[in-house]
Every structure is written in C-alpha cells, then in structure tokens.
Structure 1
Amino acid sequence: MNTQEMTDRIANGEGFIAALDQSGGSTPKALKAYGVADDAWSGDEEMFAEIHKMRCRIVTSPSFGGGKVIGAILFEKTMEGCTDDGSPIPELLSRRGIVPFLKVDNGMHDTENGAQLMKDMPNLEARCKRAKELGVFGTKMRSVIHEADGAGIKANVAQQMDYGLQILDYGLMPILEPEVSLKSESRPQAEALLLTHMLDELNRVPEGKRVMLKLTLPSEPNLYKQLVDHPKVLKVVALSGGYSREEACRELAKNDGMIASFSRALLEVLQADMDDGEFDTALGKAIDEIQAASMQPA
C-alpha cells in the first residue's frame, strides 16, 4: 500500500488497530499473561526475542490478515525484526492490508500536576526516517492524565501536539495518546478538560493536514464526538486501559465513530502452548468481537 491507500484504509476500513507495542516495562507482564514465565528468559535480549516470537505468531496468523485488522502499532524492535520468510514486519503487514505504525516515545516522567508527560525524544527524527524507509505510515506516543488538573492536562495535550506537528513534518501520521487513567477519582472532569484542550490544540494543525487520537473510552458516551467529526482528525481510536475485552467492547460500542486500538483486551486469551489451530481460533474470536464493537456509525 502507498501512503494514500493507507490513509484511505484508516479512514474508511471496517476494522480496528491492534496495539502490539509493549515496551521494556510492560513486556514481562505481557509474556507472563501469554504463559511465558520469567525464568524462560534471561536479560533484555532474550526477553525481547520471546515477545518478538509472540508478535510474529500473531501477525502471521490467518485470522489477523482477514481484513478486520486495519492497522497495527509496533515496538521498534518488532519493526526492525523479520518473519520466518525474511519479510520485514511492516512489509508483511502492508501486504496483508494492515497499516503499520511505530511507537516512538521514550517513556514518561513522574507525575506532576496530576499528569505524566513524555520524556524528551532526541532521536525522534532518526526514528521517523527509519520508519519511513521500512514503509511505516504513522507513529504513536503515550502520556497519562491522573487528575483533573487544568495546568497538567493543558501541558500534557500541548506536548502531544508539539511532537505531533514535528512528526507531520517528517512525513508520518501521528497518533496522539493522552490517556486518562481509569483509576482517576476525577475522571469525568479530566475527560472534559482533555476535550477542551484538544479542541484548542487542533487549531495548530496546518490546513490540509490531519492527526489521529488515541483516547481512553470516556465515562460519558460520545463525549469525544466533536473530535471524531473534526476535519483535522483522521481517526479517533480507543485504548482498552485495563478493561477486559468484554468490558472494553461494551464501552466502545457506546461511542459512535470510534474504533478500537486494543492491546491487552485483544491478547488476553492467547497462550504460548496453544497449537496453531487453537491459537488462530482464539485470536479470530477476539478480532471478530472487537471489530463488531468498532463498527458503530460515525
């Protein structure tokens, strides 16, 4: 797929975006959930080799290429890896009609003013250049909002847009992800502030350009409909944020025009000791459920 074809796939495809971008901090937990114990690997290289095997099994599974997964977010080591036939992962995804994205953030600072901002990204330009060389369409970067603190949320959203505009200049589509924690005691107020500041920040996007947004499923259904319909937003996708797949799908279905970008809720039933048939059946069932919840009218 070329860039225009990928843009059309994200804008109009009847499916969702799989989040396969677990990084160093979340990888041991993801492996344990997959049935790979901590004593099965030693050191980061072996750990990342194990998670790479899991991701390759997912992206090469027949059900993953059935048309219902329209995009996949990759960790950098996954982007640089190959499948058994020697194909780079982004190339394989593109051949299967799946738009590749790359996680580009370097983690987050500690909480300040109720929010965690992203750490600096001095290697962002080089990372984006390499992603384009490998046929990646866009990027994703995550920060977190814990409290309804106006200053913290404003800074959080502004930082997301600062980097997003740089990524647009590098020729990639940015997914901005200012996650509101499901554990927040002031979650509805935080979500309302996020909406206000995001609408303001979208004014900075140049005419003719668009960004994508990855947001926590809101406590008030269709709270983000203004963002879904905004001319400078290509797509609004939802993170599962700790919900089970059943819960996440139920909440997603209440929000017109949003599609899923689930990680844990997609992978929660997969196990390393499944045979290939069992694995594909379990993955296919999850894909069907998430795709169905994503197909609400805009």
Structure 2
Amino acid sequence: MSIQSELTATIQDLVQPGKGILAADESHPTIAKRFKAVGVESSEEKRREYRSLIMSAPGAGESISGVILFEETLGQESLEGLPIPELLGRQSIVPGIKVDKGKKPLPNAPGEEITYGLDGLDERLEGYKAQGARFAKWRCVFHISETLPSTQAIEANAETLARYAALCQSVGIVPIVEPEVLINGDHTIERSAEVNEVVIDAVFEALRRHRVQLETMILKPSMVTPGKDGPNATPEQVAEATIAVFRRVVPAAVPGINFLSGGQTPEEATANLNAINRLGEQPWVLSFSYGRALQEPSQKAWAGSRDNAAETQAAFLKRANLNGAAQTGQYRPEMENDAG
C-alpha cells in the first residue's frame, strides 16, 4: 500500500459519524495525578490494567474510532495477553501515539511555553508505525491574558506543529494537530474567540508553508469557551462562538475536527459538543478527542481493583456512547441518568 493510500485509509477509519477518539496518552506525572484522585498509586502494571480494561470494553468500537496511546502502552499487552494495537484492531479501533516530549518555557517569552520532541522524530515514527500506530498527536499550548499569547509564541508553536505534521505524513502516519488554547484564567468568551482565531490561522499558515496535505490530517482544537474563572457561557453560546471562529480560519479540506475537553467536566464537554453539532451541517465532521472527560467516571469506578472491571467498562462505555450521540446532535441531558 502506498503512503497516500495509508493516509487516506486511516482518515476514513478515524472520521466517522457517531464516533470520536479516546485520548489515553497521559504522561506518567499526569496519570499519577488522575490515579491519586481515586486512591491508586501509579505503576506500570496498574496503568496497563486500567487502560486494558477500558480499551477492551465490549462495543467500544461503536463510539470510538481511534485511541491515542502513550509510548509505554503501545508496547504493552492487554490483560488477555494481546498486544494493545491488536486489541484495538479487533474492535475496529485505530491505534495512535502521542509523539511530543512535553512542554517547557519558551526562551525570552515570560509566561509562555514551547513543545519539544522534533529531534529524532522521523526515526521514532518509523518505530511506532512498526508497532501498529497509524496516527499520531502533538500538543502545543497557548496561554491567555491581556497580552498573551505573543506573536513569538504563536509562530514558534505553529511552526513546530507544521514540522511534526509534515514528518508524520512523510511516513504514512496521519497527524492530529493540537493547538490548545488553555482554559485557565478569567477571560471572556470574546477574548477566547479572538485568541483561537489568531492561533488557528497561524497554524494553518504554517501547515501550508510545509506543504502538509490538509485532507489527511485532523485538527484537535479547544472549544471557544470563557476562562474557568470567567463569566459562564451556555452550550449554545460556546457552539456559536466556536463555529464562527472555525468558519473563518479552518479550511474545508480538513476532514475532521476532534475537540479536546480542556478542563471541562464530562457533562459540559458532551453538552457543548452536542450544541455545536446541532447548529447544522458544517464543512468538517465535528467530534471529540477527550481524555479526562471520557475517563474520569471509569477511573472512579475502577479505583484500582480488577474486581470492578464490569463497572469500569460500563462507566467508560456510557460516556463514549453519550459523546457519540453528541457528535450527531442527538444527546439530551436526561440521557445522563438512563444511559449505561
């Protein structure tokens, strides 16, 4: 199969009505924080146990088209002894991989950050592909204040995202491009819209400069929301602001936009996605790529015990199915009580 055929096939498998992507790519410090919240000490075996449980949940492939894995998980076996990529493949779920190496302060730019990991990425991508990964993810973050993000931070991170995406496509791996505008702060939804528009516009300018094929990539952006300490916004307000920005700056050639949850509660992330899709047909499939907003209930149900396997899987499937309904605009708040 040619590289172009591989890219096209992966996009077709990932971008499907009623389905989204699970982000299970938490770094060791992040997953340790999540586990601590449910009274579990993070270890390689506990991480394998939990992730194996949710990824083997019967019927997960009905709402989940792909899973972003952490490097450790890509090389692990499930509780049944199957390589994780094979476990996912049996449910028609595409295995993916987080390839960035985390963020650090951006030199000469107080309060801003840059993501590292481009060095040696081409060789790592070949290795991940050999292990079964068909798509990848790279995250850059943008802080909001009255003066941030600066042009320096926007352009540096956009360039990094574009170089990563070009490297992915060169080896037949679909890139998920994630420019996260952080929810931290007390900014208004109008300020969020302003920043999102400038950031995403810069990202696509860089992608075009590096000749990234827009038809075989996925955008993973923030929804346009106020800061978590700012004024509240209804799902309808979030939806209208988000679509207004995207229609200005996201090319129609992009097949899918899979939102990150970015600090929203599971219920908020689902309601907002539903409101976005209820605005009517758009040039792109609008779906989810959630981490905590899909997993928080299942982690609470698991609480570190394999004896809670059924409850863990049921909690995960409930959120996956609710978000699958939101992807088609068919979610209703009362479904929180009768699903699962």
Q: Same fold (TM over 0.5)?
A: yes
Report the CA distance between 1:121 and its aligned residue: 3.2
CA contact under 8 A between 1:59 and 1:93: conserved in structure 2?
yes
Partner residue of 2:201 out of 196, 200, 220: 196
**Corresponding residue pairs, total:** 286
Partner residue of 1:224 out of 246, 259, 283: 246
Residue 22 of structure 1: aligned partner: 26
Q: For 1:94 and 1:116, how far apart are their aligned partners in 2?
A: 36
After the TM superposition, which residues 134-213 of structure 1 pair with which residues of structure 2 at under 5 Å, given as runs?
134-146=131-143, 147-184=148-185, 185=187, 186-204=191-209, 205-206=211-212, 210-213=216-219
1:37 maps to 2:58: no
Q: For 2:249 and 2:293, how far apart are their aligned partners in 1?
A: 24
Residue 295 of structure 1: aligned partner: 328
CA contact under 8 A between 1:81 and 1:89: conserved in structure 2?
yes
Report the CA distance between 1:174 and its aligned residue: 0.9
Report the CA distance between 1:149 and its aligned residue: 2.2
**Counterpart of 1:84 in 2: which secondary structure?**
coil
Deviates more, 1:3-12 or 1:200-209: 200-209
**Counterpart of 2:104 in 1: which secondary structure?**
coil
Report the CA distance between 1:102 and its aligned residue: 0.1
CA contact under 8 A between 2:200 and 2:250: conserved in structure 1?
no
**Counterpart of 2:136 in 1: which secondary structure?**
strand
State the AA in 2 paired with 1:6. Answer: T
Report the CA distance between 1:278 and its aligned residue: 2.0
TM normalised by structure 2 equals: 0.77
State the AA in 2 paired with 1:169. Answer: S
Query: Kindly, what percent of the aligned residue pairs are identical?
Result: 27
Partner residue of 2:57 out of 61, 76, 85: 61
**Counterpart of 1:203 in 2: which secondary structure?**
helix
1:275 maps to 2:308: yes
> After superposition, what is the alpha-carbon deviation per residue over 1:105-139, rounded to whole angstroms, capped at 9, x for unaligned?
11111153653211233231222112211221111
CA contact under 8 A between 1:63 and 1:283: conserved in structure 2?
no
Deviates more, 1:153-162 or 1:2-11: 2-11
Deviates more, 1:239-248 or 1:122-131: 122-131
> After superposition, what is the alpha-carbon deviation per residue over 1:133-161, rounded to whole angstroms, capped at 9, x for unaligned?
12211110111000332332122112111
State the AA in 2 paired with 1:216. Answer: S
Residue 105 of structure 1: aligned partner: 100
Report the CA distance between 1:234 and its aligned residue: 3.2
Structure 2 gaps of 5+ residues are: 226-240, 278-284, 331-340
**Counterpart of 2:29 in 1: which secondary structure?**
coil
Q: For 1:209 and 1:72, how far apart are their aligned partners in 2?
A: 20
State the AA in 2 paired with 1:230. Answer: A
CA contact under 8 A between 1:115 and 1:156: conserved in structure 2?
no
Report the CA distance between 1:227 and its aligned residue: 5.9
After the TM superposition, which residues 235-274 of structure 1 pair with which residues of structure 2 at under 5 Å, given as runs?
235-256=256-277, 257-270=285-298, 271-272=301-302, 273=305
CA contact under 8 A between 1:15 and 1:295: conserved in structure 2?
no
**Counterpart of 1:261 in 2: which secondary structure?**
strand
State the AA in 1 paired with 2:75. Answer: E
Report the CA distance between 1:206 and its aligned residue: 4.6
Q: For 1:207 and 1:195, how far apart are their aligned partners in 2?
A: 16
Residue 138 and residue 229 in structure 1: after superposition, are their counterparts in 2 closer, same or farther (change >3 A)? same
Report the CA distance between 1:100 and its aligned residue: 1.1
> After superposition, what is the alpha-carbon deviation per residue over 1:159-186, rounded to whole angstroms, capped at 9, x for unaligned?
1111111121122111111110011434
> After superposition, what is the alpha-carbon deviation per residue over 1:75-103, rounded to whole angstroms, capped at 9, x for unaligned?
00000001133321112212211111100
Residue 121 of structure 1: aligned partner: 118
Deviates more, 1:105-114 or 1:210-219: 105-114
Residue 93 of structure 1: aligned partner: 88
Q: For 1:260 and 1:157, how far apart are their aligned partners in 2?
A: 22
CA contact under 8 A between 1:216 and 1:240: conserved in structure 2?
yes
Q: For 1:292 and 1:12, how far apart are their aligned partners in 2?
A: 12
Residue 11 of structure 1: aligned partner: 15
TM normalised by structure 1 equals: 0.87
Residue 44 of structure 1: aligned partner: none
**Counterpart of 1:126 in 2: which secondary structure?**
helix
Residue 227 and residue 13 in structure 1: after superposition, are their counterparts in 2 closer, same or farther (change >3 A)? farther
Deviates more, 1:146-155 or 1:161-170: 146-155
